[in-house]
Structure 1
Amino acid sequence: MPNPIKLSLVNPQRFPFFYGYVVLIIGSIGILASIPGQTIGVSVFTDPVKDALGLTRNQFSNAYMIGTLLSSALVARAGVWFDAYGARYVAFFATLLLGASLLVFSVSVEISETIKRAFNIQSWSVPFLLITLLFFLIRFSGQGVLTMASRNMIMMWFKKNRGKINSISSITVSLGFSSAPILLNRLIDDHGWAMSWQIMALSLFIFCICILQLYRNRPEDFDLLPDGGEKKEFDQEAEEIETDFTLKEAKKTRAFWMFGLVLAFNSFYVTGFTFHIVSIFGSQDYTKSEAIAVFLPMSVIAIFVSTLCNILSDYINHKIYLFVMLMAGVLASLGLLMLSQPIGVYLLVGGLGTMGGLFAVINAVTWPSFFGRKHLGSISGKVMSFLVIGSAIAPSLFSYCFTGLGSYRYMGYVTLVFLLFLIIGSLKVKNPQ
C-alpha cells in the first residue's frame, strides 16, 4: 500500500475527533462529483449535444450504450485497484480523467468537423465514434470508479454504525442527484452546453486537490479502528469479527447474484427512464418542465426510504430490502404502462423513489455486511460492472422501443418479466455471514 499521507498535510491520527466523519463528508462529495459521468448528468445534455453533432436519437443512444459497455469491461478491474492502492489514488486519477474527458467533450463538435475536413469524410460515423470514446471515458471514470471508490471508503471507516452513517451520506447524495437536472439545465440555459462542461471540468480539477488532502483508505492504516472504537472494545468483540469473502467465494452465493441483479435492474430502469425522460413524458403530452419536475418528489421518497432503511439496516435482515425493492420495481413498471393516466405518474414516482432509496442502502451497506471489508473493492467492482452493463443497454432499448414500436410503454412488459424471474430466484436468499 502506498504512503497513506504522501502529498498531504492532513494526518488522521492528529485529528481532535474521529477522522471517519471527515471521510463521510468528503466521500459523499466525491459521489456527487461523479454526476457528470452519471446518466442523470448526461440526460440534460442529450438533446442539445446530439443536435449539435448531427446524430439521431438512436445513434446517440447507441454511442452511449457502446461506450458504457466498454467501461464495464474495466470497472471490475478498478475494484482490484481499490484493494491494492486504496480509495485515495484510485479516486484521484478517476476524477482527473473525468475532468479531462469533459473538456474534450466540450469541443467535440470542433474535433468532429476537423476530422471530417482532414479526411474528406461527411458521415455521421465520425461524431458517433468520437462520442462513443468520450462516453467510455466519463462512464468508466465517473459512474464506475469515482463512485465506487468514494462509497467504499466511507464503508471502510465504519462497521457497527455503517447503516446510520450511510443514511447521512444517502441524504446528501439524493438531494444532490435530484437537483442536478434542474441545476444543469439552468447552467446550460445560461452558458450553453459546451461552457457548462468546461465549468464542471474546472470544478473536478479543484476537487482532485481535495482528494489528495482528505481521502483516506482505512482506519487501520493510521492505527485507528472503525467507528472510532478503542482497542480494548475491539478485543472484547473479537468474536463478532466478520468473515472476509473473496470475490470467487462471494460469486458462489445466491445472495451475491440476486442482490447484484436487482441493483443492475435499478440501474437499467433508472438510466433508460432518465436518459429519455423528456421524450417519455413528451410522448404523453407533458412539457419538459413537467418531466424534470418529477425528480423532486422522487428524491423526497428516496431520502425518506434510504434514511429509514439505513438506520434499520444495522438490526434487520437485508432480504426484506431485496423484496421491497423488487415490489417497487413492479410499481415503476406498471407506471410506465399507465403513464397516459395520472395514476401512472404516481406509480412511477413512488416506485422509482423507493428503488432509489433502497439502492443507496444495498449498494453501500449490504456488501461489507455480507462479505466483509478485506476484498470489498473486487466484490463491489464486479457488482458495479453489472450496474454499468444495465445502464449501457437501457438507453438504446428504450429508444428502439419508441422508434420501432411507437411507445415507451412496451418496456414495462419486459421489465415485469425480468422482475418475476428475480422474485422467484430470491426466495432462498440467505446472509453468507
Structure 2
Amino acid sequence: METRTESHKIFYGWYLVGVSLISGAFQTGIGIWGVSVFVSPMGDELGWSRTSFMAALTIRTALTGLLSPVVGPWRDTKNGPRVLMLAGSIILGISLIALKYVDSLWEFYLFFGVFGSIGALGAGGILTQTILPKWFVRKRGFALGIASMGGGTGPLVFPIAILGLITWLGWRDAWFFLGVLALVLLVPLSFLVKTRPEDMGLHPDGIAEVPEQAAPTTSNQSARRSGREFSFTGRQALHTPAFWLIIFAVALGGLGQQGFQANWIPYLEGEGFSTKTATLAISVYGVCSVTARIIWGTLADQHSIRHLIVIQSLLTAISVMALIYVLGPFMLFFFVIFFGLTMGGSFILRPLIVANYFGREHIGAITGYMRPFQGLTSAVGP
C-alpha cells in the first residue's frame, strides 16, 4: 500500500521524544546516579552506613516493580499516561522537598523509597517504554535512541550539578532545590503527553495509510519494516515463550546494573579515587552512553534486534570484567568509555525488543507485567 507523509509540520511524536528525553534525564540523574553523591554527606552527618542508605534504593526499585502491573494497563488508555505523569511529577517533587527535613532512616525510606517509587512510576520511563513505541514503527529505534539519551544525560549532568549544590548549599537545601525543579519542569511537560497518534488524527511515524494489523510473525521485525505490525494483548503475550525469555534476560542484566550504578561513587572512593574523579568518571560515562543510544537505536531499525542484543550483552560483560584491572585514572577512564558505549545500548534495546516483538497497542500492560521480575532483581543489586 502506498504511503505518504501527513504534513510538512513537525510530527507531534518528536515533541514527545523531547519530553521523554527531559523526564528521563531528571529521573535517572537523581533517582539512580545523583543519589550516590548524597551518600557521604548524609552518612557523615546522620551516622548512616552506605548499606543502610542504599536500602532506600532497594525499596524504591522493588516497589516500582511490584506496582507496575497495576498501572501498566492505564498506560494504554487515552488519558492514563498524562494523568500518571502529572501525579507522578507532583509526588516526586514533594518527596524530594521533604528529604530536606529527614533526620532518621525511616523518614528517608518513606520519602525516597516509598513516595519516590510512586513518583518514578509516573514520571519515569513511561514515555520511552510505552508511549513512544505507539507513535513510531518504522523509525522506532532512532526515536527511542534519541529519547533514551535522557538516561545518558542524567549521569553526565546531575552528579556534577548535585555535587556543586551540596558544596554551595549543603545536602538539605540541595534536595529542596531538586524538588522544586521537578515541580517546575516536569509538571508542565506532563500536559503535552498524548497516548497514541490516532488520538490526534495522526498515524505512526507521521505517515498516512499504514495498516496496523498484519499476520503475526515470530519477532514482528519484517512486518515492522514495511510499516505493518501485529499487536499482542497482555494475555496473549503471557502465553508466548518470548515473553518469559525476555523477562529472564532483562532481569538477569538488571541484577548487577542497578547496584553498580548507584554505588559508583562510594565504590571508587573506597578504591582510593577522589569524589571529583569519581564524579567526572560518571560524566564521561554519560557522554559515551548518550552516543551509544543513538548508534544502537539506528542499528535496531536496520538489523535483527535479537542479534544486536546478544552482541551488546557480550560486549557489556567484557567491559565489566575490565573493572578488575582499574588501578589508576587511565584505566578508570578507559573502563568508563568502553562501559558507556556498550552498556548504553541496553537502555534502548530492552524497550525496543518488547515493542518489536509484541506490537504497540498493549505495550503498557505487557511492560507492566514484566516489571515485577525486573524490579525485584534490580532491587537486590544495591
Q: Same fold (TM over 0.5)?
A: yes
Quote how far apart the aligned CAs of 1:74 are: 0.9
Aligned twin of 1:89? 83
Q: Distance in 1 between matches of 2:244 and 2:111?
A: 30
Map 1:94-109; keep pairs closer than 5 Å: 94-109=88-103
C-alpha contact (below 8 Å) 1:284/1:339 kept by paired residues = no
Q: Distance in 2 between matches of 1:47 and 1:267?
A: 25
Q: Distance in 2 between matches of 1:368 and 1:137?
A: 29
- Please, which of 294, 298, 305 is the counterpart of residue 307 of structure 1? 294
Provide Cα deviations, 1:167-204, integer angstroms capped at 9, x if missing partner: 22233442333222111111211111111121121122
TM-score (norm 2): 0.85
Aligned twin of 2:126? 149
Q: Distance in 2 between matches of 1:79 and 1:383?
A: 10
Q: Distance in 2 between matches of 1:67 and 1:22?
A: 29
In structure 2, relative to structure 1, the CA distance for the partners of 1:329 and 1:254 (3 Å cut) is farther
C-alpha contact (below 8 Å) 1:244/1:371 kept by paired residues = yes
Q: Aligned letter for 1:54?
A: G
Provide Cα deviations, 1:217-255, integer angstroms capped at 9, x if missing partner: 11111221111112xx32599674322223343234443
Identical aligned residues as a percent: 24
Aligned twin of 1:137? 114
C-alpha contact (below 8 Å) 1:68/1:135 kept by paired residues = no
* Larger CA Rg, structure 1 vs 2: 1
Map 1:68-217; keep pairs closer than 5 Å: 68-84=61-77, 85-109=79-103, 127-151=104-128, 152-217=130-195
In structure 2, relative to structure 1, the CA distance for the partners of 1:138 and 1:270 (3 Å cut) is farther
> Is 1:65 equivalent to 2:84 in the alignment?
no
Quote how far apart the aligned CAs of 1:96 are: 0.8
Q: Aligned letter for 1:220?
A: E
Runs of 4+ in 1 over 6 A off after TM superposition: 236-239
Q: Distance in 1 between matches of 2:52 and 2:101?
A: 19
TM-score (norm 1): 0.76
Q: Distance in 2 between matches of 1:99 and 1:15?
A: 37
The more displaced of 50-59 and 38-47 is: 50-59
Aligned twin of 1:358? 345
Q: Distance in 1 between matches of 2:16 and 2:207?
A: 16
Q: Tell me how many residue pairs correspond in the alignment.
A: 364
Aligned twin of 1:381? 368
Quote how far apart the aligned CAs of 1:104 are: 1.3
Q: Distance in 1 between matches of 2:60 and 2:19?
A: 28
Stretches of structure 2 lacking an aligned partner (at least 5 in a row): 1-5, 216-222
Map 1:25-36; keep pairs closer than 5 Å: 25-35=18-28
Q: Distance in 2 between matches of 1:270 and 1:263?
A: 10
> Is 1:337 equivalent to 2:334 in the alignment?
no
The more displaced of 220-229 and 175-184 is: 175-184
> Is 1:283 equivalent to 2:270 in the alignment?
yes
C-alpha contact (below 8 Å) 2:37/2:162 kept by paired residues = yes
State the secondary structure of the residue aligned to 2:302.
Answer: coil
In structure 2, relative to structure 1, the CA distance for the partners of 1:75 and 1:207 (3 Å cut) is same
Provide Cα deviations, 1:77-134, integer angstroms capped at 9, x if missing partner: 221221244321111111111011111111112xxxxxxxxxxxxxxxxx22222222
Aligned twin of 1:10? none
Q: Distance in 1 between matches of 2:185 and 2:35?
A: 20
Q: Distance in 1 between matches of 2:178 and 2:89?
A: 11
Q: Distance in 1 between matches of 2:155 and 2:250?
A: 17
Stretches of structure 1 lacking an aligned partner (at least 5 in a row): 1-12, 110-126, 396-433
